[in-house]
Amino acid sequence: MLLSLRMLARLAGIVRVLARHDPAAAFEILGLRGLPLWLLQRLGRGRGRGRAGERLAQALTELGPSFVKLGQSLSTRADLLGEELAADLSALQDQIPPFPFAAAKAVLEAELGAASEILFAMLEPQPVSAASIAQVHLGQVAEPGAEGEVPALRPVAVKILRPGIERAFERDLRLFFWLARLAERTQPRLRRLKPVAIVQLFADQIALEMDLRYEAAGLCEIAEHFEGDDSYLVPAVDWRRTARRVLTMSQVNGIPIDDRKALLESGLDLAEVLRTAATIFFKQVFRDGVFHGDQHPGNMMIDPEGRVVAVDFGILGRLDRETRLVLADMMIATLSRDYRRLAEIQVQAGYLPGDRSLDIFAQALRSVCEPIVDRPLQEISFAKLLAQLFQLTESFAMPVQPQLLLLQKNMMMAEGVSRSLCPDLNIWALAQPLIEDWIVMYRSPAARLAENGRNLNRLLARGPQFLSDLEAIAGEMRRGGLRLQGSRQDPADAWATRRMAQLALLVALFALLVVLFD
């Protein structure tokens, strides 16, 4: 009861902030209808200044980092919000008010255990960027040279968490969990969306972002995947000057990927820029199974050579091998217009409830996919396709797959940037040959045979331990030391137990043969 009262008080505070900035027009664009919109219109009438998007951005900033992240996601969706509202929200990406340099130094010195003047030859007081969770200061570190030589200065960027950021997120996460649980209890139609699971996924991501050592580790992992590939540049980590709330890395520079005018003035080919970006996105998602999870334009740049430069790896998306193979099978079925097979794949993956009609679901998939399969890819908006597929999940009570939400978000971000640079070019058309090659590599008969071989090797590797365990179980049974609770074992039961152990061994050997000759 006390928790509910606290949450209601927090909601009341949110309403007051929204009323003060009067973003009702922006909420109307976002699709808010009915009593909530009417209430905001009555409370905030005439009190806000600037355009609707500017007022919404101001309200989100005042509400705190969790709401700023919401606005950052919305800012990439010009196709849904309109150019003006999306542009207004884009200010949230890198124009958050900074916190004082004295506070930044205090965090840095407490984390690294030394005065900043000892650790850095220079540290600029004014941050180069300030985001919802941290801000970045440019600086230099002295690299020791040979005896008698002047130390060389190496430029670095130092990311420092905002003071008190953990408490701010903890407060909002409690609210989000409370609302999610309330929705699951009172709104059965929303349960398939797994609101609690989605909030938990968000909380897990925030926990990782609150420890900058995880971001440093992610940077190193991505760098390893692209070792020898100079089309993608990420900062190098300075581990000596990195801790939980401080991340020091090499400086990287470039033109923001959505700055069309600056890219053209630099002489870069926009189609080639998009081709490079599409290739990198494909490699991260399908080849590596780990991708930059927050690819908004504030985190992506292009250097003078046309290479993609990325920063802010606080969120990494991950897809296991099985999920990637499911996606590949779905692509094959869609391209071949085999909608029943497409439905069967989703049933096998557990996406479609077993009590739903497979034929009707296949028909629904056809209604969404058939209108686009013969159209040129540059005319297809995959963002809108995802929206239609999402409507299908509601119609068929399909649970949301949290592991795919981050991928969908970044696909929509990539498409938004692509259309702002080259409206007549689709980024997915550029990646199509790579996707086709990947499907052949992992779903051809030869690939399946190789996969079966790997499965066999894994089973054989576990075989000796499995047989040893069976032998130990059989020995315990013979000695009467392994029994079902409350039962007594006579000689006949012991014989039956030994036969059961032998049967289990035969089943295991049969499974090996199935894998080998499948």
Tokens representing residue 191 in the block: 């349960």
- Residue 243 is classified by DSSP as B
Residue 473 C-beta-side C-alpha neighbours within 13 Å: 16
SS3 73: helix
**At what angle are helices 382-395 and 358-373 packed, to 10 degrees?**
160
CA atoms of 470 and 502, how far apart (whole Å): 9
SS3 304: coil
Question: What is the largest distance, in Å, between two alpha-carbon atoms of the chain?
Answer: 89
Secondary-structure breakdown of the chain: helix, strand, coil percentages, each rounded to the nearest 5: 65, 10, 25
CA atoms of 182 and 402, how far apart (whole Å): 19
**For this structure, is 320 an active site residue?**
no
Q: Are strands 246-250 and 232-233 parallel, antiparallel or unpaired?
A: unpaired
CA–CA distances in Å: residue 28 to residues 13, 35, 53, 228, 313: 21, 12, 11, 49, 33
CA–CA distances in Å: residue 114 to residues 5, 232, 320, 396: 44, 34, 41, 59
Residue 323 C-beta-side C-alpha neighbours within 13 Å: 17
What's the alpha-carbon Rg for the chain, to the nearest Å? Answer: 28
* Alpha carbon of residue 316 to chain centroid: 6
Which amino acid type is present at position 517? F
In sequence order, which ranges of 22-124 are alpha helices (DSSP H)? 24-30, 35-44, 52-63, 65-74, 78-81, 83-89, 101-112, 116-119
Tokens representing residue 29 in the block: 């664009």
CA atoms of 89 and 29, how far apart (whole Å): 13
**Given 294, 329, 374, 469, which residue is catalytic?**
294
Catalytic residue list? 294
